[in-house]
Structure 1
Amino acid sequence: MEGTKYTTKEAVLKRGQEAIGIPLKDIDKTGRISTGKGAVGSIIEESWFGYSINSESEPDFPEAGVELKVTPYIRGKKGEIRAKERLVCNIINYMEEYDKTFKTSSFWHKCETMLLMSYEHKKDIPKGEFKIDKAILFSFPMEDLVIIERDWNIIMKKVHDGQAHLISEGDTMYLAACTKGANASSVRKQPFSDTMAKQRAYSLKSSYMTQILNQYIFGTATNERIITDWKQLQKQSFEDIIVDKLRPYFGRTQEQLKKQFSVEECSAKNLNEVLLAKMLGIKGKIAYTDEFKKACIVPKTIRVQQGGKIKESMSFPTFDFIKLSKETEWEESELYNYIAPTKFLFVIFHENDNGEYVFERVKFWNISNDDLDEVQRVWERTVKTIREGVVLDAKDGKVYNNLPKQAESPVAHVRPHGKDGNDKLPLPDGRMMTKQCFWFNRTYICKQIKE
């Protein structure tokens, strides 16, 4: 790759900061603003820094050892900042990457130091009005780096085992291997199997980027950490540390745990959440800790009845019918981007002979590629049904619909998720319908928690 005139980290940062506050329409010299996804980054590369867009393995500023990454964020209703998307780094060449170490990997060579330039993505505002608002040089803090290196090793182990085709974003904590290609036919050879594997790229999860934005760019993150000494992570994985912290409490009933931690007055609704935090020695909610937020780990309590069955299916956030009907690509959908990168922490309570629920164990879990394909099928049928017009059939005081039912799939289905029958949202044709969401089948979850 040819060099640029920005040969030091200081020069790269200075030039990046000079772009702050300038509308992109005033920077764009090549007409990139009218192109599709990635246009903002391309404008900064070509028109601001003056180098041609490339997909080479070298950092964008080779002499300075700096990679340029332009990252969008969104402000929520309460002003909170979250990353709009994952940060895609570079394509993984399975045939070359497998015999490297983390420190000689293409990811580390390219992204050891990054110039992060952020901008707020605003709905219904032309791209040309967007402005870079921050620019910083970013290097991974040690407490994150030990986890990222372990993530890289997890990805490479699947390559070594001839299982590159089984790699999933949920396998890892912060560094993921996301699919990268125009469609499902974008595949690559792998070294230890004849099975073609999906083309994937190293990426930093959107959950991780949200924390980076808040902590290092805007300086607003103050999340509690579960592991206060990062050197622990050099000896054990994060998951093993959590299990070890919780193991002394296995076998105790909810009532025993309530007394031990003096939370007898705690409401049933969030009891297990409070108990879990107490067991891990944190003051706030476990879902709000630094590690859980960065890694997109979702804790879910599962109550197993005496017969080994689970009473309830597992719900996901309510979907907007109109918004869902406009989704066209599975891997760009809200459902995919919720399930695929997520690692769940199943907190398992088992009912004993006295009808008491006993804290049995915990399990970290993420969905397999095959099961994700099945969820895609349910998603596709749901989108198609909503576009064509949901059939609503009133019978015996209830309203039935033709969205995918639990009996139609071994993995997932759609059913109501509102406060009551009057909690509704509009369909694309203007009719109102009780709020719905995707669910994992209870039989599917029961199968996943078996050791």
Structure 2
Amino acid sequence: MGDRVYKTKEEILERGREVIGIPLHQIDKTNRLKTGKGAIGSVLEESWFGYKINSESNPDFAEAGVELKVTPYVYKKKEIRAKERLVCNIINYMEEYKHTFFTSSFWKKCNTMLLLSYEHKEGVSKGNFTIDAATLFSFPTEDLLIIEKDWATIVTKIKAGKAHELSEGDTLYLGACTKGASAASVRKQPFSELPAKQRAFSLKQSYMTYILNSYIFGDKIDEHIIKNPEVLKKQSFEEYVIHKIRPYFNKTQSQLLNDFKLKTNAKNVNELLLARMLGVNGHLAATEEFQKANILPKTIRVNFDGSITESMSFPIFHFKKIITEDWEYSEFKTMLEQTKFLFVIFRFNTNKELVFDNLIFWNMPEGDLQEVESVWKRTVAIIKEGVKLKKVGSRTFNNLPKASENRVAHVRPHARDSRDVLELPDGRFMPKQCFWLNNTYIREQLEKKKLS
């Protein structure tokens, strides 16, 4: 099959729109649908656009400067969400650091993309999927300023000989995701003898969800933290946020409630206060920047002596579902990898009043994620073997991983009461459980941030 040459962006977009609504099995001329991951993109490249599949550094339509990307989405709770991150190109650690952003492999490959979107439906064969929308996408100025800083963050780690410590949580919109046949896929890095996991530049799942809703299906978010994108030329998003809220440090919670005329007993009162400090009327989680970057605020209350009483909880897991997952693609690993946490720190003073102490952006280091992996795998193994339950009075104990057994994480109940249960694979019922980050581990992370 000879390659067809597309010379203009308009020609490519027109051809993309022509495929909308046609079942993929009617398009596939080379039986690509029978292959594994990436089959749909291959069908469109070969059988619709008429060019050979390649892994070149140039964009797919080199003469027009356009890269073809297929973006699946799902409906969850009546909302459109990207099914996955958008992988762009493999990071060559030995070469990438030699470039500027605008000469980088990412920019060369993906500065303009034809996004073909389709709804992924469970139980429906790939051949019956249809493309719903074709969009020629270039990054908005305000996003590009953050993406440029994300690229610089990744390259800075490479230059520091820390490519093996890269994590998607390091950045906001542009990530460095693992890419390879297995977790053992590694590459050389230029400033360290240690091998680094093979990674690719990727647009985060949260950012792709925003693109789908705002630019493809037209449901743009109006609430912003950054009112003037020009400020991002001088400082990062994180620096802007911390600079904005610094005047409120050392104020008590009651003083802040009075300052912002808030009367509430809501559990998320500290998040509401932080929103007001940043000039946001609604919830921080609903702002454009927090949604694009998948930033999750977590309030941490520190005792007067510096200890932390509470561990940090995550959503419950379903016993029957978690045993069908693989760690590399598990919900919990994906969440820890792709989430940027915002620790909102309140400290008790000598009068037992909560004082706004600090604000820290944090993501889990790669090495600690490996610790969580051991807890996750042991949890799955125990559930598969059959959880050992022991009733003592009104309480039921189990043999899932405890906080004393791992430096980073453990498993314990996250149920309203003893009747709030889920079914185990063997038919018994047990109170709902979730993963927790140990309170001692959280304290350790706060201490490290103080020293950095």
TM range, smaller chain:
over 0.9
Is residue 2:179 matched to residue 1:180? yes
| CA distance in 1 between partners of 2:49 and 2:426 (Å) | 48
For residues 345-399 of structure 1, give each alpha carbon's deviation from its aligned partner in whole angstroms, at most 9, with x where no partner exists. Answer: 1010000000100001101111111100001111111111111111122222211
8 Å CA contact 2:185, 2:198 repeated in 1:
yes
| CA distance in 2 between partners of 1:280 and 1:32 (Å) | 50
Shift of residue 4, structure 1, vs aligned partner: 3.2
Percent identity between matched residues is 62
| Runs of at least 5 residues in structure 1 that lack an aligned partner in the other structure | none
Q: Which shifted more, 120-129 or 240-249?
A: 120-129
Shift of residue 285, structure 1, vs aligned partner: 0.5
SS of residue paired to 1:317: strand
SS of residue paired to 1:123: coil
Shift of residue 323, structure 1, vs aligned partner: 1.0
Question: 2:96 maps to which residue?
Answer: 97
8 Å CA contact 2:303, 2:348 repeated in 1:
yes
Is residue 2:320 matched to residue 1:311? no
| CA distance in 2 between partners of 1:431 and 1:46 (Å) | 51
SS of residue paired to 1:244: helix
SS of residue paired to 1:75: strand
Question: 2:55 maps to which residue?
Answer: 55
Q: Which amino acid aligns with 2:350?
A: D
| CA distance in 2 between partners of 1:378 and 1:223 (Å) | 40
Shift of residue 3, structure 1, vs aligned partner: 5.9
Question: 1:383 maps to which residue?
Answer: 380
Q: Pairwise mapping of residues 231-380 of structure 1 onto structure 2 (< 5 A)?
A: 231-263=230-262, 265-328=263-326, 330-380=327-377
| CA distance in 2 between partners of 1:223 and 1:441 (Å) | 37
8 Å CA contact 2:424, 2:430 repeated in 1:
yes
8 Å CA contact 1:166, 1:368 repeated in 2:
yes
| CA distance in 1 between partners of 2:391 and 2:176 (Å) | 46
Question: 1:201 maps to which residue?
Answer: 200
8 Å CA contact 1:223, 1:288 repeated in 2:
no
8 Å CA contact 1:310, 1:443 repeated in 2:
yes
Question: 1:21 maps to which residue?
Answer: 21
| CA distance in 2 between partners of 1:31 and 1:389 (Å) | 43
Shift of residue 122, structure 1, vs aligned partner: 0.8
Q: How many positions carry a matched residue from both structures?
A: 447
8 Å CA contact 1:314, 1:442 repeated in 2:
yes
8 Å CA contact 1:3, 1:61 repeated in 2:
no
Q: Which amino acid aligns with 2:406?
A: S
| CA distance in 1 between partners of 2:376 and 2:220 (Å) | 34
8 Å CA contact 1:21, 1:133 repeated in 2:
yes
Instruction: Provide TM-score, normalisation by structure 2.
Output: 0.97
Question: 1:70 maps to which residue?
Answer: 70
Instruction: Provide TM-score, normalisation by structure 1.
Output: 0.97
SS of residue paired to 1:269: coil
For residues 298-344 of structure 1, give each alpha carbon's deviation from its aligned partner in whole angstroms, at most 9, with x where no partner exists. Answer: 1111010112111111011111111100012x221101110012111
Is residue 2:395 matched to residue 1:423? no
Q: Which shifted more, 235-244 or 185-194?
A: 185-194
| CA distance in 1 between partners of 2:436 and 2:29 (Å) | 48
Shift of residue 190, structure 1, vs aligned partner: 1.0
| Misfit runs of 4+, over 2 Å | 2-5
8 Å CA contact 1:426, 1:433 repeated in 2:
yes
Q: Which shifted more, 155-164 or 138-147?
A: 155-164
What root-mean-square deviation, in Å, do the aligned CA atoms of Structure 1 and Structure 2 show?
Answer: 1.1
| CA distance in 2 between partners of 1:209 and 1:219 (Å) | 13
8 Å CA contact 2:115, 2:136 repeated in 1:
yes
8 Å CA contact 1:59, 1:109 repeated in 2:
yes
| CA distance in 2 between partners of 1:352 and 1:214 (Å) | 44
| CA distance in 2 between partners of 1:370 and 1:70 (Å) | 32
8 Å CA contact 2:3, 2:50 repeated in 1:
no
| CA distance in 2 between partners of 1:99 and 1:419 (Å) | 54
